[in-house]
Amino acid sequence: MANPLLAPVLGFFAKLSFPRLFALTAALFVLDLVVPDLVPFVDELLLGLGTLLLANFRKRKDPDAIQPPVEPRR
């Protein structure tokens, strides 16, 4: 069961693009290393952000491969 305090936060973070999500996760991780337990639930937040990063980490498809082939006009 998801933590009711972290579920809305992770829902917001799920809408971010991969570069912004990665930067946010990296900054939060470094902040947690420098000042441990600054923010409550930061460890759970980092686990959730890591999960979102892995879910968003995929190769982008070639735009030409996405479009269906066009039939020639007669």
Confidence of residue 7 (pLDDT cuts 50, 70, 90): confident
Give the pLDDT score at 9.
79
Give the pLDDT score at 66.
59
CA angle (30, 32, 38) in 5-degree steps? 140
Distance CA 32, CA 27 (A): 9
Confidence of residue 13 (pLDDT cuts 50, 70, 90): confident
Distance CA 74, CA 27 (A): 58
